[in-house]
Amino acid sequence: MFRAYVGLTFAILALQAAVPAAALAEGDASRPYVYQRGGHGVPGELSVEVETAYGSRDARPFGAEGVEQGARVAWSPLSWLRAEGWSGVLFTGGAYRATASAVDLHFGLLNQDDHYLNLSLSGGYLFDYQQVHVPRFRATIDRSWGAFDTSLSSLVEIPAAGDRDTIDLVMALAASYRVAAWTRVGIEIEGQDLEGFWEADEAEGGAKLVLGPTVWFRLWESLTTKANVGAIIPATTNKPTNVTPQADNSAFDYGVLGRVTVGWSFE
């Protein structure tokens, strides 16, 4: 499955290279990152994303080889409000395992033109692959200086299940640079299940660090793609309790994950 993911990545890059430069829109990415989901919207914009992920955090309880196929729809009726819905299907060992879905509302509170930086708060709900209800809340701070952009976010999830952690804490930092009107390159760092630093029996097997490069391309005026490949580095370890019978402990050790997203936007 990982070879298929790599093949898809190269296919998308080849498509980008084949697009005439004159057809590429000027301007910049509004959300060039894979793991940074907050931020302000463009008034009246409707966007659709199709994503393929290998070895994601949500798939980890099912084993190291989980592959997700998902779709995301977002609508921004106002510059400070964006509504987002997502649905995903998980496969392990080439077989269907589960579905999941989520809805989130993102509220832009500050913008850098008036307040030096952008601040958004988000609230939402996830029904995850283990069929657990998970309210979640996110805060995102970001800013751009010309071609350079950076973003910092924190996510708190509250799984409604007795065998899960009281809260799951995720923090992510990203930075990117616009090397052309149609290309951004950057890096994303995500700390997953950070409650493992103070909870000896953290259900997901301890805190993890995910680190890797992200690239963003505008393939056409309304067509974009972004991809990330990250190394998983355990920061703390313990025996995980949030696992399914088919999972193996290698899913909670060192590893690699990846994600490719293709999106369309309409205004």
Please report, for the chain, the start and end positions of each structural domain, with discontinuous segments joined by +.
2-266
What pLDDT, on a 0 to 100 scale, did the predictor assign at position 39? 74
What pLDDT, on a 0 to 100 scale, did the predictor assign at position 250? 61
Place of tokens 């990846």: 258
CA distances from 3 to 53, 194, 232, 258, 262 (A): 12, 30, 18, 11, 19
| Tally: H helices and E strands in the chain | 2, 12
What pLDDT, on a 0 to 100 scale, did the predictor assign at position 206? 83
AA identity, residue 14: A
What pLDDT, on a 0 to 100 scale, did the predictor assign at position 210? 95
d(CA 134, CA 31): 24
Return the structure tokens found at 104.
Answer: 């989130």
pTM of the model: 0.84
CATH architecture of 2-266: Beta Barrel (2.40)
Helix (H) or strand (E) holding 4: helix 2-18
- Residue 203's DSSP bridge partners are none
pLDDT averaged over consecutive 10-residue blocks of the chain (267 residues)? Answer: 42 42 40 85 91 90 86 94 96 92 96 94 96 97 95 96 88 97 96 89 84 95 94 87 65 85 91
d(CA 188, CA 210): 8
d(CA 262, CA 267): 17
Model pLDDT for residues 113-159, shown as the tens digit of each residue = 999 999 999 999 999 999 999 999 999 999 999 999 999 999 999 99
What pLDDT, on a 0 to 100 scale, did the predictor assign at position 240? 76
Place of tokens 């997203």: 261
Residue 242 buriedness (CB in 10 A; 0-12 / 13-18 / 19+): buried
